[in-house]
Amino acid sequence: MGVLPVFLARHGQAEPGYDVADGQRSLTGVGRRSVRAVGKLLAAQPPHIDRILTSPLVRAVQTAELLAGELGIDEGIAARRIVAEPPSTAALVDVIAEVPANIQGLLIVGHEPTMSILASALLRMAEYPRSFLPGTVLALRFDQGSRRGAFDFAIEPQGPRLITDING
Protein backbone atom coordinates (compact mmCIF):
# COMPACT_ATOMS: atom_id res chain seq x y z
CA MET A 1 0.00 0.00 0.00
CA GLY A 2 1.26 3.41 -0.90
CA VAL A 3 0.25 6.95 -1.64
CA LEU A 4 -2.32 7.23 -4.41
CA PRO A 5 -3.12 10.51 -6.19
CA VAL A 6 -6.91 10.86 -5.94
CA PHE A 7 -8.98 13.45 -7.75
CA LEU A 8 -12.58 14.22 -6.80
CA ALA A 9 -14.67 15.98 -9.44
CA ARG A 10 -18.21 17.24 -9.43
CA HIS A 11 -20.00 16.88 -12.74
CA GLY A 12 -20.30 19.98 -14.92
CA GLN A 13 -23.31 22.27 -15.15
CA ALA A 14 -26.38 20.24 -16.12
CA GLU A 15 -29.71 21.08 -17.64
CA PRO A 16 -32.55 21.71 -15.20
CA GLY A 17 -34.71 18.75 -14.34
CA TYR A 18 -38.10 20.26 -15.15
CA ASP A 19 -39.17 17.66 -17.68
CA VAL A 20 -36.48 14.98 -17.52
CA ALA A 21 -35.64 12.43 -14.83
CA ASP A 22 -32.69 13.41 -12.65
CA GLY A 23 -30.50 10.54 -13.87
CA GLN A 24 -31.05 11.58 -17.50
CA ARG A 25 -30.03 15.24 -17.16
CA SER A 26 -27.28 16.16 -19.65
CA LEU A 27 -24.55 18.76 -19.44
CA THR A 28 -25.34 22.16 -20.89
CA GLY A 29 -23.12 23.73 -23.54
CA VAL A 30 -21.63 25.95 -20.83
CA GLY A 31 -21.04 22.85 -18.71
CA ARG A 32 -19.26 21.05 -21.55
CA ARG A 33 -17.00 24.02 -22.31
CA SER A 34 -16.20 24.49 -18.63
CA VAL A 35 -15.36 20.80 -18.09
CA ARG A 36 -13.08 20.79 -21.16
CA ALA A 37 -11.26 23.89 -19.86
CA VAL A 38 -10.87 22.31 -16.41
CA GLY A 39 -9.63 19.12 -18.10
CA LYS A 40 -6.97 21.02 -20.03
CA LEU A 41 -5.68 22.59 -16.81
CA LEU A 42 -5.87 19.23 -15.00
CA ALA A 43 -3.89 17.53 -17.79
CA ALA A 44 -1.09 20.08 -17.29
CA GLN A 45 -0.72 19.11 -13.61
CA PRO A 46 1.15 16.11 -12.33
CA PRO A 47 0.49 13.35 -11.46
CA HIS A 48 -0.88 11.08 -14.17
CA ILE A 49 -4.49 9.80 -13.99
CA ASP A 50 -5.15 6.38 -15.47
CA ARG A 51 -8.40 5.27 -13.82
CA ILE A 52 -11.78 7.02 -13.71
CA LEU A 53 -14.76 5.95 -11.62
CA THR A 54 -17.95 7.82 -12.32
CA SER A 55 -21.52 7.93 -11.21
CA PRO A 56 -23.71 6.28 -13.88
CA LEU A 57 -25.94 9.38 -14.10
CA VAL A 58 -25.72 10.94 -17.57
CA ARG A 59 -24.19 14.28 -16.51
CA ALA A 60 -21.42 12.53 -14.55
CA VAL A 61 -20.64 10.10 -17.39
CA GLN A 62 -20.49 13.00 -19.84
CA THR A 63 -18.14 14.87 -17.48
CA ALA A 64 -15.94 11.78 -17.08
CA GLU A 65 -15.74 11.32 -20.84
CA LEU A 66 -14.83 14.97 -21.46
CA LEU A 67 -12.14 14.86 -18.77
CA ALA A 68 -10.83 11.55 -20.14
CA GLY A 69 -10.54 13.15 -23.57
CA GLU A 70 -8.47 16.03 -22.21
CA LEU A 71 -6.34 13.61 -20.16
CA GLY A 72 -5.77 11.25 -23.10
CA ILE A 73 -7.45 8.30 -21.39
CA ASP A 74 -9.07 5.82 -23.76
CA GLU A 75 -9.54 2.99 -21.26
CA GLY A 76 -10.07 2.78 -17.56
CA ILE A 77 -13.46 4.52 -17.21
CA ALA A 78 -16.03 2.67 -15.12
CA ALA A 79 -19.53 3.77 -14.11
CA ARG A 80 -20.36 2.54 -10.62
CA ARG A 81 -23.60 3.00 -8.69
CA ILE A 82 -21.63 3.35 -5.42
CA VAL A 83 -20.37 6.76 -6.63
CA ALA A 84 -23.94 8.03 -7.10
CA GLU A 85 -25.50 6.28 -4.11
CA PRO A 86 -22.84 5.31 -1.60
CA PRO A 87 -24.21 3.29 1.31
CA SER A 88 -21.76 5.26 3.46
CA THR A 89 -18.75 7.51 3.13
CA ALA A 90 -16.66 4.66 4.52
CA ALA A 91 -17.73 2.48 1.58
CA LEU A 92 -16.31 5.05 -0.88
CA VAL A 93 -13.12 5.32 1.17
CA ASP A 94 -12.87 1.51 0.96
CA VAL A 95 -13.09 1.70 -2.84
CA ILE A 96 -10.20 4.18 -2.91
CA ALA A 97 -8.12 2.23 -0.39
CA GLU A 98 -8.48 -0.94 -2.45
CA VAL A 99 -7.27 0.52 -5.76
CA PRO A 100 -4.56 -1.80 -7.16
CA ALA A 101 -0.93 -0.73 -6.86
CA ASN A 102 -0.53 -0.48 -10.65
CA ILE A 103 -2.94 2.48 -10.82
CA GLN A 104 -1.05 5.80 -10.95
CA GLY A 105 -3.97 8.14 -10.30
CA LEU A 106 -7.71 7.80 -9.66
CA LEU A 107 -10.38 10.31 -10.70
CA ILE A 108 -13.86 10.00 -9.18
CA VAL A 109 -16.66 11.96 -10.87
CA GLY A 110 -19.77 12.40 -8.75
CA HIS A 111 -22.32 14.72 -7.23
CA GLU A 112 -22.93 17.00 -4.29
CA PRO A 113 -23.08 16.61 -1.40
CA THR A 114 -21.18 13.31 -1.78
CA MET A 115 -17.98 14.92 -3.13
CA SER A 116 -17.77 17.48 -0.28
CA ILE A 117 -18.52 14.82 2.33
CA LEU A 118 -15.91 12.48 0.85
CA ALA A 119 -13.34 15.31 0.68
CA SER A 120 -13.98 16.13 4.35
CA ALA A 121 -13.61 12.47 5.34
CA LEU A 122 -10.38 11.98 3.39
CA LEU A 123 -8.88 15.21 4.73
CA ARG A 124 -10.16 14.49 8.25
CA MET A 125 -11.89 17.87 8.40
CA ALA A 126 -15.29 18.68 9.85
CA GLU A 127 -16.17 20.35 6.56
CA TYR A 128 -14.32 20.85 3.26
CA PRO A 129 -13.67 24.63 3.27
CA ARG A 130 -14.12 25.32 -0.46
CA SER A 131 -17.22 25.21 -2.61
CA PHE A 132 -17.65 22.18 -4.88
CA LEU A 133 -19.27 24.07 -7.76
CA PRO A 134 -20.18 22.09 -10.90
CA GLY A 135 -16.94 21.22 -12.70
CA THR A 136 -14.66 21.56 -9.65
CA VAL A 137 -11.76 19.10 -9.21
CA LEU A 138 -9.96 18.45 -5.92
CA ALA A 139 -6.55 16.70 -5.97
CA LEU A 140 -5.37 14.75 -2.92
CA ARG A 141 -2.51 12.48 -1.99
CA PHE A 142 -4.22 9.50 -0.35
CA ASP A 143 -2.26 7.20 1.94
CA GLN A 144 -3.91 3.84 1.39
CA GLY A 145 -2.56 2.44 4.66
CA SER A 146 -3.80 5.18 6.98
CA ARG A 147 -6.75 6.02 4.70
CA ARG A 148 -5.93 9.68 5.08
CA GLY A 149 -5.65 12.31 2.37
CA ALA A 150 -3.59 15.47 2.06
CA PHE A 151 -4.62 18.45 -0.05
CA ASP A 152 -2.58 18.88 -3.22
CA PHE A 153 -4.55 21.39 -5.31
CA ALA A 154 -8.02 22.23 -6.58
CA ILE A 155 -9.26 23.49 -9.92
CA GLU A 156 -12.31 25.70 -9.82
CA PRO A 157 -14.28 26.09 -13.04
CA GLN A 158 -14.42 29.90 -13.10
CA GLY A 159 -11.52 30.70 -15.39
CA PRO A 160 -10.62 27.84 -14.72
CA ARG A 161 -8.42 28.62 -11.75
CA LEU A 162 -5.74 26.52 -10.03
CA ILE A 163 -5.92 26.71 -6.22
CA THR A 164 -2.81 25.66 -4.27
CA ASP A 165 -3.96 26.76 -0.80
CA ILE A 166 -6.99 24.93 0.61
CA ASN A 167 -8.08 28.10 2.40
CA GLY A 168 -7.04 30.54 -0.34
**Residue 89, domain member (yes or no):** yes
Could you give the CA distance from residue 59 to residue 9 in angstroms, rounded to a whole number? 12
Residue percentage of the chain with pLDDT more than 90? 87
**Residue 7, domain member (yes or no):** yes
Q: By residue range, what is the domain housing residue 88?
A: 3-163
- Report the CATH number that the domain containing residue 76 is assigned in CATH: 3.40.50.1240
**Residue 150, domain member (yes or no):** yes
Question: Above 90 in pLDDT, residue 6?
Answer: yes
pLDDT attached to residue 1:
66
Q: Considering the chain, what is the average pLDDT of its residues?
A: 95
Question: Above 90 in pLDDT, residue 159?
Answer: yes
Could you give the CA distance from residue 108 to residue 89 in angstroms, rounded to a whole number? 13
pLDDT in tens, 46-86: 989 999 999 999 999 999 999 999 999 988 899 999 999 99
The contacts of residue 68 (CB under 8 Å, 6+ apart) are 52, 74, 77
The structure's pTM equals: 0.96
